Amino acid sequence: MKLVNRTFDELNPGDTAELRRLITPDDLYGFASVSGNFNPMHLPGEDGDGDGRPDGIAPGMFVASLISAVLGTLLPGPGTLYRHQRLDFHGRAVAGDELLCRVRVTRKTDTGDVTLATEVRRVADDALILSGEAVVVAPHVKFDRDDVDVPGLIVQRHRHFEALLERAKPLPALVTAVVCPDEANSLGGALLAMREGIITPVLVGDTVAIRAAAATLEADLAGIEIVDVQGDVAAAAMACRLVHQGRVAAVMKGHLHTDDLLRPMVERDTGLRIGRRFTHVFVMDVPGQPYPVMVTDAAINIAPDLPTKVDIVQNAIDLALSLGIEPRVGVLSAVETINPAIQSSIDAALLSKMAERGQITGGLVDGPLAMDNAVDLAAARTKGLKGGVAGRANILVVPGIDAGNMLAKQLAFISHAEGAGLVVGAKVPVILNSRSDSAMSRLASCAVAAIHHFAKKQV
């Protein structure tokens, strides 16, 4: 960023400078986090005054900080320090408003002080939001540099999951067999999704243990069907029977091992097979990313061969289409060129060619791609990669479960992503939660399952 100041000697009464700033919801979250001001009047989506409408009003000091930005970067610019600021508020700004901040030099003193008239107006209607006067110590040393850099700020807000929840809520509640919800997290996640209107749970497992878990949550299970079954595998088998009977349209993992949940589902005659391999997809909301990122397979297929990878790719594309996401599949390897010594690079190239020949349908598929040139356009261009996927992939197909698990957990624990887990390729969606999942992850998993289920019914 290039910064040039105006020294005291260069300033004259009548000199002006201005900047424009569009207020975003992230600005309000960021200001609340930095300042510690959590007044709900200033938080998007919150109703701070009890009138039934969200407020999202920009804090007065946030608006005033735009004046500081002009003084510190434009006029007088770098080296400027405050002595005094008077602020008069005439109106309010909200997220979505574009503001124009203007300062004008009115006088200079022999002591080196400079007085400036200040104002902030809303661009759309020229409404005066703030006026006042600033007295500053102007710089006496010239500053002219283009290497000033400030680290970027990413707000840990999961807007993509919020959008999925808004899409899922108008849909009919998805009747879901919740298998072994006999501890607080697994039962609480199902009850939360029920309260949000996303699922109608049918609790399958040990009735005594389920009611004990409800007691720890102080939750009322009145009106919720409980199917009493002893044993984890037996409960999972009962969920399969409920699917075949048409009583439920999805299955949700409770407090049991994934292997025990899936074992009855892969039985040839009584399970939930429909011809494809079961594959797992993480739909991940990564702060700062402009779209959700899907990672597959990170939970079921340990070392998938090429036919299994075909199902992994096709299942992920089908899920993306259900969610309204344009599928751009990046098949990952350690390199972006084919290396006969790296099997994943060969598989990636074959999958790309299979998609080109119509053996995989519904989305763009490219590979092999390294992680950097799959998701970063600049990295893709550096390597000379072209097409609609390189640098813009939103479905990441990993070589095996170890790479997938590491990638998903890196996104969750280092990049602060939330992940919605779903098993696809079965007769019904299978919601696969982890005991460490947050409430948002559990809700989003249910929302993804509901959207996918009802989208398939419309096909």
DSSP string, 266-315: G-TTTS-B-SSPPEEEEEEE-TT-SS-EEEE-SSS-SS--HHHHHHHHHH
In percent, the amount of the chain with pLDDT more than 90 equals 81
Average of per-residue pLDDT values in the chain = 93
Give residue 52's pLDDT.
Answer: 86
pLDDT at residue 25 greater than cutoff 90? no
What is the mean predicted confidence (pLDDT) over 156-168?
Answer: 85
Q: Give the CB-side neighbour count of residue 329, counting CA atoms within 13 A.
A: 35
pLDDT at residue 459 greater than cutoff 90? no
Give residue 288's pLDDT.
Answer: 78
Give pTM, 2 decimals: 0.77
What is the mean predicted confidence (pLDDT) over 275-296?
Answer: 92
What is the mean predicted confidence (pLDDT) over 419-440?
Answer: 88
Q: Which two tokens stand for residue 226?
A: 């409980």
What residue ranges define each of the domains in the chain, with the CATH number in brackets? 3-145 (3.10.129.10), 170-274+430-439 (3.40.50.10950), 278-425 (3.40.718.10)
Give residue 156's pLDDT.
Answer: 64
3-state secondary structure of 115: strand
Angle of helix 439-458 versus helix 159-168 axis, rounded to 10: 50
What is the mean predicted confidence (pLDDT) over 97-101?
Answer: 95
Give which of 396, 243, 405 is closest to 331, Cα–Cα. Answer: 396
Alpha carbon separation from 194 to 172, 202, 344 (Å, rounded): 11, 11, 41
pLDDT at residue 116 greater than cutoff 80? yes
Confidence of residue 327 (pLDDT cuts 50, 70, 90): very high
Confidence of residue 398 (pLDDT cuts 50, 70, 90): very high
Give residue 204's pLDDT.
Answer: 97
Residue found by looking up tokens 């000379």 in the block? 384
Report residue 369: phi and psi, to 5°: -130, 135
Give residue 434's pLDDT.
Answer: 78
Report residue 301: phi and psi, to 5°: -85, 115
pLDDT at residue 157 greater than cutoff 70? no
Report residue 364: phi and psi, to 5°: -85, 135
Give residue 368's pLDDT.
Answer: 97
Handedness of CA 223, 224, 227, 228 (dihedral sign): negative
Residue found by looking up tokens 């039962």 in the block? 187
pLDDT at residue 95 greater than cutoff 70? yes
* pLDDT, tens digit (0-9, with 9 covering 90-100), for 227-243: 999 999 999 999 999 99
In our burial notation (b when 16+ CB lie closer than 10 A, e otherwise), range 390-416 reads bbbbbbbbbbbbebbbebbeebbeeeb
Give which of 449, 457, 417 is closest to 190, Cα–Cα. Answer: 449
Q: Do 110 and 48 touch, CB atoms closer than 8 A?
A: no
Q: Do 120 and 88 touch, CB atoms closer than 8 A?
A: no
